[in-house]
């Protein structure tokens, strides 16, 4: 969400952002809704003020009538006393008459106010709906494009392996080692489901713990967060209204399963004033859920696109300083890169273009890791700077050096997501006989194992002959 005053002053920029992000949003409709809302608000306020003024006058008149009624008769005799009583009665009648006239006026005001308030409520609802659709303008250095094909590569790290033997994909390797069981997963939970077992489950846990230990050493605070959140948390973090199709709703409840722990991590500070003198660094390791609507027929083999997965997320809140949040964006991206280097995997970093960027992001980097079975880099990490977009919706503020309340900037990054990361981990580190090399950084979490040995029955014939010559 953006500041309405800023939107009025920068309507061309907002419309440009919508067009470049491929969003169906018309800023003129918002401006008209805002004008309508303010006009009705002014009318309603004026009517309420008139009603209050008249009501106060009625109260004073009725008090004066009551006072005259209760005041003892003056001890006066003769005609003068009778004249005084007649004057008081006349004044009482006039006050009562004025009060009755004012009551009629108030009744007419209420008749006008009721439809005005109803129209105002409708106008406010329309305004809020449109405000939730306002895009966050991308940074000036964000590449302009329509899809991920227009993302711009920034750098590559690591060498793509060129083995002399035929490579197995992660599904074959998983079945070879008894680590991945997709058929039983589908039988149990439907499409895009799986079981990890044995070494597969251990690797799944190992990469998460490696990421957590790495982040904790760098000052992140670990939270164990809710996996179900109220609908407003999804709106406040910018995942709704556009992302309702990709989320799972708890039937009969106003709660949704999270697709990322970014949602409960940001929501932790909803409606609070925080101390942002130093950036607030948070992390969580959670199960996540996405319905993958719109991906029918895409990436149906293996673990690339599944309904349930795990993520270690980085979330940072800081002062509303664009230079500071830009530096923090590079920091959390570097954390993810370091983890990939510890996993000894080749990857590249791309600047995400406008058309591949979500409504909430100002700037985004994706990290893509080399996946031999795809003969391409596949997205494994994403880093985003959203400035104060989420904080405005969530009402998360801090006091600046002058004591003024300001909205925080927020950032997020996927430190690691699994089982997707198992694809490059297994495929890049496979050996000719089907064994799998375990990077040194993971060995402490894998009981010191350096290699996952392939079962002898699946060894290549050449390897079997070397071990067991005929």
Q: Which class for 174: exposed (0-12), middle (13-18), buried (19 or more C-beta within 10 A)?
A: buried
Instruction: Please state, in angstroms and as integers, the Cα–Cα distance from residue 215 to each residue in 111, 192, 227, following that order.
Output: 62, 30, 21
**Dist. CA 242–CA 256, nearest whole Å:** 14
* DSSP symbols for 201-251: HHHHHHHHHHHHHHHHTTTPEE----SEEEHHHHHHTT-TTTTGGGS-B-T
Tokens of 289: 């859920």
Three-state DSSP class for residue 120: helix
Among residues 105, 117, 129, 109, the alpha carbon closest in space to that of 34 is found at 129
Q: Which class for 461: exposed (0-12), middle (13-18), buried (19 or more C-beta within 10 A)?
A: exposed
Among residues 221, 251, 176, the alpha carbon closest in space to that of 433 is found at 176
**Dist. CA 281–CA 296, nearest whole Å:** 36
| 8 HSE (CA, 13 A, CB side) | 8
Q: Which class for 104: exposed (0-12), middle (13-18), buried (19 or more C-beta within 10 A)?
A: exposed
Write out the catalytic residue numbers: 290, 305, 379, 382, 420
**Dist. CA 53–CA 62, nearest whole Å:** 14
**Dist. CA 403–CA 409, nearest whole Å:** 17
């Amino acid at each position: 969400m953006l500041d309405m005053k800023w939107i009025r002053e920068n309507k061309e920029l907002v419309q440009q952002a919508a067009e470049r992000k491929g969003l169906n949003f018309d800023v003129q409709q918002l401006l008209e809704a805002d004008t309508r809302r303010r006009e009705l608000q002014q009318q309603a306020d004026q009517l309420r003020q008139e009603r209050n003024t008249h009501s106060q006058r009625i109260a004073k008149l009725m008090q004066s009538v009551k006072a005259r009624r209760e005041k003892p008769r003056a001890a006066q005799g003769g005609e003068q006393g009778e004249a005084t009583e007649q004057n008081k009665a006349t004044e009482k009648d006039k006050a009562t008459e004025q009060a009755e006239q004012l009551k009629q006026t108030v009744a007419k005001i209420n008749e006008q106010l009721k439809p005005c308030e109803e129209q105002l409520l409708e106008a406010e609802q329309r305004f809020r709906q449109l405000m939730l659709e306002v895009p966050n303008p991308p940074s000036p250095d964000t590449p302009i494009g329509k899809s991920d094909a227009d993302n711009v590569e920034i750098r590559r790290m690591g060498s793509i392996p060129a083995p002399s033997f035929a490579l197995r994909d992660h599904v074959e390797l998983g079945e070879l080692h008894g680590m991945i069981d997709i058929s039983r997963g589908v039988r149990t939970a439907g499409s895009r489901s799986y079981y990890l077992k044995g070494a597969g489950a251990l690797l799944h846990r190992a990469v998460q713990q490696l990421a957590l230990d790495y982040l904790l050493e760098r000052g992140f605070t670990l939270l164990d967060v809710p996996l179900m959140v109220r609908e407003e948390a999804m709106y406040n973090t910018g995942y709704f209204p556009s992302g309702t199709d990709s989320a799972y709703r708890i039937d009969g409840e106003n709660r949704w399963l999270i697709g990322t722990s970014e949602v409960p991590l940001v929501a932790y500070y909803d409606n609070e004033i925080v101390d942002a003198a130093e950036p607030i660094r948070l992390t969580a390791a959670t199960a996540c859920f996405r319905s993958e609507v719109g991906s029918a027929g895409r990436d149906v083999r293996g673990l690339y696109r599944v309904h349930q997965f795990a993520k270690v997320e980085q979330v940072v809140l800081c002062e509303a300083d664009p230079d500071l949040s830009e530096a923090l964006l590079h920091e959390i991206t570097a954390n993810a890169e370091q983890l990939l280097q510890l996993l000894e995997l080749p990857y590249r970093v791309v600047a995400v273009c406008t058309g591949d960027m979500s409504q909430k992001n100002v700037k985004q980097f994706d990290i893509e890791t080399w996946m031999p079975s795809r003969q391409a880099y596949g997205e494994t990490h994403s880093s985003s700077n959203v400035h104060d977009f989420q904080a405005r919706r969530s009402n998360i503020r801090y006091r600046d050096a002058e004591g003024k309340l300001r909205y925080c900037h927020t950032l997020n990054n996927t430190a690691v997501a699994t089982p997707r990361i198992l694809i490059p981990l297994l495929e890049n580190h496979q050996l000719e006989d089907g064994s799998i090399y375990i990077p040194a950084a993971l060995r402490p979490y894998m009981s010191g194992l350096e290699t996952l040995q392939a079962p002898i029955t699946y060894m290549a014939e050449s390897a079997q002959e070397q071990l067991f010559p005929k």
